[in-house]
Structure 1
């Protein structure tokens, strides 16, 4: 039985999906975070191996209750496609390809595709006959936008990319950006109130974003948030006092990205004006990045009215947030012909490999 593997390696989880030659999913499994730029080679290989090994359990005959050992003595997969968060250069691809080739017993070449995770989201480009481009928008733990067309060889050809610089430098529209903007706006509100007086209270009985965040961190004064956010990352060997606050055990990036669910619930469930303003700001900056790709008069720009925008990631999975991004784009004169949300990029990628194999055989 011919098998096709696709692995979506993200900042929050690793998703491995295996399809047969008909495109039917035969196995799937999840692993831990596998953003190559964040966790390094050893941890990356470990997470990928665990996800693939567990996905293979239901593909062997008879099905196994234990993970399948890797690398296999003989090749198992006809082809494999890795969409990896943090792979932003040919040098990174060249570094990972030998590791994945050895892990799967697939020689480097056309049957082993190693690329950024945005490539997986562009699969809907093949679903429509009335478009000539796709813009993929990832808004999850991080954020990045990339444009594609179909190349002369029938594969995806990247035209332009914006963002994906990581949490220190950007990740506009992603979870870290949302958390950071929430803290920034809470602090700015207090700064303004120090001059103009306190802002009007919200309707009694509603849980506000500000109160939720302060309760989460166990602080009473807004400016204590500065201590929370700037406290250095915990060291692996660091002794922890019994009365140490929980946030001191969390890496700085996670202290901010973990706030995204609070912002979303405060905005879309409670109608908190502050939370709504945070999401208008972050979605607007994500739209600004998309607009850089939408310059049809430039050598590699594409046109929204001739394209499909493909969203992916946990934040983009919230329809109200996607609508904020699309509204910003419309205000700037960009309306896509089709809008897709790809909620299972690994499955789409695995099916795409099987389709390509059938087409090659025919």
Structure 2
């Protein structure tokens, strides 16, 4: 993180026009950065402020926490990316929530977009296909003419195949299935151990109550990391699960690519990007002739490029 310039501090609006607030509102975390001339100068984390995942009051509190930590001056523009921003109404609702949570004032410009656009911009592209492989999953593409195509992003009740939550739920299901098959042998022992430890229970049967009594999406999405680590170590059951997840994610991208009239670069972002799943996704897509970037920087760093490309 670069050294902070002298101002603007709280209550100081002298240079607000040189500053920008970027927000990445994910299913598990919210990340805010204050930019000066496109350079990050302050950062602030919080829990999820996505109203699809948490109550509006909790989202409001998380946004207030982030914005207060950033000390942005009144009038500082905001570019925010979040899942669930699918319509103009969604964007207006999020913009209103951000304005009400901070001290930016009613005149502050707030641009709310789907979080796939942050990922694409963080990969230095204004056209292309962005894949989110995080708590949820979605692929979104835009070509040079501005035409947009999307696949997935229906939420965990209707979709999100291949996502961190999907992996966590499927891991639990596999452990339960194995517990009902006495002839399963040693296959799946490591996965069972990881899942039970994550859930805080000792017997597979206890997973049923644990899952239904604690249906927190980020909690179960947290299982994706140890599952991917098992897959990377060569565990057969975890590797099969990771491979299926990668196939689901690659299918989202290929659906978008097939609907586009021109070849487009692919940028993969989200918590699964550098995992066994993300690496498998990249391999599958490259086999289909696509150019793939596994994003190795925070998606919120794409906010300055989006701000420059925004109308007006």
TM-score (norm 2): 0.82
**SS of equivalent to 1:172:** coil
**Quick one: distance in 2 between partners of 1:124 and 1:257?**
23
Verify the 8 A CA contact 2:143 2:264 in the aligned structure 1. Answer: no
1:287 alignment partner in structure 2: 250
1:265 alignment partner in structure 2: 229
Q: Deviations over 1:251-303 (max 9, x none)?
A: 3535532321221121113x21100111001111111122211215xxxx254
Verify the 8 A CA contact 2:232 2:239 in the aligned structure 1. Answer: yes
Give the unaligned 5+ runs of structure 2.
Answer: 1-14
2:130 to 122, 136, 140: 136
Verify the 8 A CA contact 1:313 1:343 in the aligned structure 2. Answer: no
Distance 1:288 1:220, change over 3 A: same
Q: Deviations over 1:68-100 (max 9, x none)?
A: xxxx6x42x1x3211012322222222233333
1:344 alignment partner in structure 2: 298
Distance 1:184 1:158, change over 3 A: farther
- Answer with 1 or 2: which has the greater Rg: 1
Verify the 8 A CA contact 2:116 2:131 in the aligned structure 1. Answer: yes
What are the within-5 Å matches in structure 2 for residues 267-346 of structure 1?
267-269=231-233, 271-296=234-259, 301-303=260-262, 306-318=263-275, 320-330=276-286, 334-346=288-300
**SS of equivalent to 1:119:** helix
CA RMSD of aligned residues (A): 2.9
1:168 and 2:157 aligned: yes
Q: How many residues align?
A: 294
1:6 alignment partner in structure 2: 22
Distance 1:125 1:30, change over 3 A: closer
**Quick one: distance in 2 between partners of 1:115 and 1:342?**
21
Distance 1:261 1:338, change over 3 A: closer
1:198 alignment partner in structure 2: 184
**SS of equivalent to 2:131:** strand
TM-score (norm 1): 0.72
What are the within-5 Å matches in structure 2 for residues 146-295 of structure 1?
146-151=140-145, 157=146, 159-191=148-180, 193=181, 197-200=183-186, 208-217=190-199, 219=201, 221-230=203-212, 232=213, 250-254=214-218, 256-269=220-233, 271-295=234-258
Verify the 8 A CA contact 1:181 1:282 in the aligned structure 2. Answer: no
Q: Deviations over 1:51-77 (max 9, x none)?
A: 122122xx7xxxxxxxxxxxx6x42x1
Distance 1:220 1:346, change over 3 A: closer
**SS of equivalent to 2:52:** helix
**SS of equivalent to 2:54:** helix
**Quick one: distance in 2 between partners of 1:201 and 1:43?**
41
2:3 alignment partner in structure 1: none
Give the unaligned 5+ runs of structure 1.
Answer: 60-71, 152-156, 233-249
Distance 1:342 1:212, change over 3 A: closer
**Quick one: distance in 2 between partners of 1:52 and 1:169?**
32
Verify the 8 A CA contact 2:265 2:292 in the aligned structure 1. Answer: yes
1:82 and 2:69 aligned: no
**Quick one: distance in 1 between partners of 2:41 and 2:164?**
32
**Quick one: distance in 2 between partners of 1:140 and 1:212?**
20
1:105 alignment partner in structure 2: 105
Verify the 8 A CA contact 1:124 1:308 in the aligned structure 2. Answer: no
Distance 1:15 1:285, change over 3 A: same
